[in-house]
Amino acid sequence: MDSNVIETAGLRRTFGKKGEIEAVAGVDLRVGSGSIFGFLGPNGAGKTTTLRILATLLPPSAGEARVMGYDVAKDPEQVRRRIGYVAQSGGSDPRMSGRGELVMQGRLFGLSGQAAKVRAQELLEAMDLADAGDRATEGYSGGMRRRLDVAIGMVHKPGLLFLDEPTTGLDPQARARMWDEVRRLRETGTTVFLTTHYLDEADALCDRLAIIDHGRIVAEGTAPELKKAIAGDVVTIGVDGSGELVARLLEQQPFVREAGVVDGAVRLYVDDGEASLPLVLRLLDGQGLAPQSLALHRPSLDDVFLRQTGRSLRDAA
Amino acid sequence: MRLFSDTWLMFKRSLGLTFRQPAWLIAGVVQPFVYLLLFGPLLNSFSGMPGFPPGGAFNVFVPGLLVMTALFGSTFVGFGFIDEMRHGVVERMRVTPMSRTATVLGRSLRDVVVFLLQGCILVALAIPFGLTINPLGFVVAFGLLALIGLMLGPVSYAMALVIGSEDALAPLTQAIALPLLLLSGVMLPMSFAPDWLRTIASFNPLYHATLAIRALFNAQFSSPDVITGLLTTGAFALLSIFVASRAFNRRTA
């Protein structure tokens, strides 16, 4: 087996009677072992569909995907033995206890009754669920249930764990907690492939990420690499209704690389942020326009998304 | 073998979940008791009429109630399955090497155990009313009831898997369960029916099962009804497990 735990070529998936809905429209992906790989995109971009194909839940309409060295369509059984999968909605029965679910999962992966119990206890302790282990999961908090879901996915110590939107719906503490757990998994050598529509999550947690929109990967790399591709700084100018006009005016200036309107505000990509601010002000003043606000920031992943898709991820999500 | 160990795991899990709530016991006791109390006496006046099968009214009536218990205990199980699907339990287990047939079979065997227990309660309640049983006949009859569960349960699970919503499953299940019930002769013996109705009923495996169980309760082991009932239901059970298992395998391709 080579060092890539995931390799796809021209992966496509269509829905509908005539295949008219294209959820995944040709995804080429390579994910190396031992990292946290993020799949960032707005809702409906094709993240979950791609994940479900990779986790053997959905056959691809075209193209190829190899996970842990096996073809997902031809050898799903081998893939399933080597991966863990945590769906966005989780996968535990509210009537079962956390321990009961972990033991069941262990037994399904061929552990003996005794070994499954030992492993369940290990995971309950690691995920700080030991006290709640024998209670029915319907009484768990959102964060506890999520940690149990991850524990269930890790019962058989898979080399690759899929997490679909692992922190959606969690409060900030539970979210930070989940990030820690994911980093701990990386330390033990597990590759984590997660989807998210949170920019900060992709930025802070993922070693590498792919940005997906309308079923296509529009950018891929580490977060710093992606941001570096957008050279210079970003200036945001709050204006009153006349956004398009201001954008067109500024676009013609030599110090502006690109200008557009996002959320009613004018967004400029400039080489040197500090030097450009006075120029912007003078120019607007000359037109009799007064900006309501003016902000300068380093490019974020949202700028990367915006640059590639023409939309803000915040609007799209 | 994977199939057996996974079926056993799934069976234990589902049975534990069912026993956690007393609903199965309440449904199992109250319903047959109401039938025995409010419908049985009505049937008593039919016994002795020409065309009424041999044995007392309760030896005709209780086997029918047992078949009905099996019918309701295995055609509506898809609803619980949809709930499990909604919680992601089914999908989670699909990403394991678990046998797909065990997914259906483990749950169906749970359903069988539940309605057989309900059946035992029913029989115990009916003895004071005048039901007579033969021990061997009782055991074979319950084996036949189990086959009914394995014939109907897997179909219900497969329909739930494919349809995926209670709203669509309910009318479809009704549309299947009601004619099966009416054409089985469980309420009134089919011997009262006109020929054309009995001809249609003869295509219903439950009709043959009911006749077989009546014969078994009366210790008529050499009756052709017994072997016909066992073979028909057994064959349909195998077919049903095969079809459901294919549906589950295909869904997971």
Number of residues that this document lists for chain B: 253
CATH code reported for the domain at A231-298 = 3.30.70.980
Among the ranges given (A33-42, A278-287, B172-181), the one the predictor scored with the smallest mean pLDDT: A278-287
**In which band, very low, low, confident or very high, does the pLDDT at A314 lie, cut at 50, 70 and 90?**
low
Q: What is the pLDDT of residues A187-238, one digit of tens each?
A: 999 999 999 988 889 888 999 999 999 999 988 999 888 887 776 788 888 8
Cβ-based contacts under 8 A for chains A and B:
66
- Contact across the interface for A108 and B96, Cβ inside 8 Å: yes
- Contact across the interface for A59 and B89, Cβ inside 8 Å: no
For residue B237, what are the CA distances in angstroms to A165, A219, B151, B154?
42, 54, 4, 9
State the pLDDT at residue B253. 43
A316, pLDDT greater than 70: no
Query: Over the Cα atoms of chain B, what is R_g?
Result: 18
With an 8 Å Cβ cutoff, is B89 touching chain A? yes
Best A93, A97, A105, A154 member to test B by mutation, with max B CBs in 10 Å, is A93
> Pairing state of beta strands A36-40 and A62-67?
unpaired
| Residue A56 with chain B: CB contacts under 8 Å | 94-95, 252
Q: What is the pLDDT of residues B209-247, one digit of tens each?
A: 999 999 999 999 999 999 999 999 999 999 999 999 999
A53, pLDDT greater than 90: yes
CB atoms within 10 A of CB A21: 11
B187, pLDDT greater than 60: yes
CA distance, residue B3 to nearest chain A CA (Å): 11
With an 8 Å Cβ cutoff, is B87 touching chain A? yes
**Mean confidence (pLDDT) of chain B:** 91
Distance CA A1, CA A69 (A): 6
| Residue A59 with chain B: CB contacts under 8 Å | 253
Distance CA B49, CA B90 (A): 52
Q: What is the pLDDT of residues A85-135, one digit of tens each?
A: 999 989 999 999 999 999 999 999 999 999 999 999 999 999 999 999 999
| Residue A95 with chain B: CB contacts under 8 Å | 17, 20
Is A3 exposed, middle or buried, given 0-12, 13-18 or 19+ CB atoms closer than 10 A? exposed
Q: Which helix (H) or strand (E) holds A218?
A: strand A216-221
Distance CA A212, CA A220 (A): 9
State the pLDDT at residue A231. 67
Closest CA to A10 of A30, A31, A25, A32: A25
User: Which residues, 6+ apart, have CB-to-CB distance to A210 below 8 Å?
Assistant: A29, A37, A38, A39, A40, A217, A219, A220
Q: What is the pLDDT of residues B32-54, one digit of tens each?
A: 788 888 888 877 777 777 777 77
Best B87, B93, B110, B248 member to test A by mutation, with max A CBs in 10 Å, is B87
Q: What percent of chain B has pLDDT over 90?
A: 74
Q: Which helix (H) or strand (E) holds A237?
A: strand A233-238
Q: What is the pLDDT of residues B136-159, one digit of tens each?
A: 999 999 999 999 999 999 999 999
With an 8 Å Cβ cutoff, is B235 touching chain A? no
Q: What percent of chain B has pLDDT over 70?
A: 99
Scanning chain A, the segments in alpha helix (DSSP H) are 47-54, 76-82, 98-108, 113-126, 142-154, 172-187, 199-205, 223-228, 243-251, 273-286, 301-309, 313-316
Of B17, B20, B97, the CB nearest to A80: B97
For residue B29, what are the CA distances in angstroms to B9, B23, B37, B44, B109?
28, 10, 12, 22, 20
Mean per-residue pLDDT, B182-195: 86
The interface predicted TM-score of the complex, written ipTM, equals 0.89
- Contact across the interface for B97 and A94, Cβ inside 8 Å: no
DSSP letter assigned to residue B53 = P
- Contact across the interface for A90 and B87, Cβ inside 8 Å: yes
Closest CA to A190 of A202, A181, A203: A181
Crossing angle for the helix pair B2-20 and B100-126, to the nearest 10 degrees: 50
State the pLDDT at residue B208. 96
With an 8 Å Cβ cutoff, is B250 touching chain A? no
Pick the CATH number of A4-224 from 3.30.70.260, 3.30.460.80, 3.40.50.300, 3.40.1110.10: 3.40.50.300
Q: What is the pTM of this model?
A: 0.86
User: Which residues, 6+ apart, have CB-to-CB distance to B32 below 8 Å?
Assistant: B65, B69, B118, B121, B122, B125, B126
Distance CA B182, CA A220 (A): 63
State the pLDDT at residue A124. 96
Residues of chain A with CATH 3.40.50.300: 4-224
- Contact across the interface for A107 and B87, Cβ inside 8 Å: no
State the pLDDT at residue B160. 96
| Pair A40, A199: CB distance under 8 Å | yes
Q: What angle do CA A82, A86, A89 make, to 5 degrees?
A: 155
Distance CA A151, CA A146 (A): 9
Question: Look-up: residue for tokens 């591709």?
Answer: A229
CA distance, residue A219 to nearest chain B CA (Å): 29
Distance CA A272, CA B32 (A): 84
Question: Look-up: residue for tokens 């692992």?
Answer: A166
**In which band, very low, low, confident or very high, does the pLDDT at B252 lie, cut at 50, 70 and 90?**
low
A1, pLDDT greater than 70: no
CA distance, residue B194 to nearest chain A CA (Å): 46
CB atoms within 10 A of CB B86: 13
Query: How many Cα atoms are found within 13 Å in the side-chain-facing hemisphere of B253?
Result: 8
In the numeric block, which tokens belong to residue B51? 């065309």
Sheet arrangement for strand A21-32: A21-32, A4-15, A62-67, A70-71
Distance CA A167, CA A146 (A): 8
Q: Give the three-state DSSP class for A234.
A: strand
Q: Give the three-state DSSP class for A97.
A: strand
Interface of A with B (CB under 8 A): 55-57, 59, 73, 76-77, 80-81, 83-85, 87, 89-96, 100, 104-105, 107-110, 152
Domain spans in chain B, listed from the N-terminal domain onward: 2-45+54-251
Mean per-residue pLDDT, B54-75: 89
Query: How many Cα atoms are found within 13 Å in the side-chain-facing hemisphere of A133?
Result: 20
In the numeric block, which tokens belong to residue B225? 């009804």
- Contact across the interface for A56 and B95, Cβ inside 8 Å: yes
Q: What percent of chain A has pLDDT over 90?
A: 57
- Contact across the interface for A80 and B92, Cβ inside 8 Å: no
Please report, in angstroms and rounded to a whole number, the separation of the first and last CA atoms in chain B.
21
CA distance, residue A110 to nearest chain B CA (Å): 9
Distance CA B142, CA B158 (A): 24
**Mean confidence (pLDDT) of chain A:** 89
DSSP letter assigned to residue B236 = H
Closest CA to B150 of B76, B238, B67, B230: B238
Q: What percent of chain A has pLDDT over 70?
A: 98
Query: Over the Cα atoms of chain A, what is R_g?
Result: 23
Q: Give the three-state DSSP class for A264.
A: coil
Q: Which helix (H) or strand (E) holds B60?
A: helix B57-75
| Residue A96 with chain B: CB contacts under 8 Å | 13, 17
CA distance, residue A111 to nearest chain B CA (Å): 11
With an 8 Å Cβ cutoff, is B88 touching chain A? yes
CB atoms within 10 A of CB B171: 9
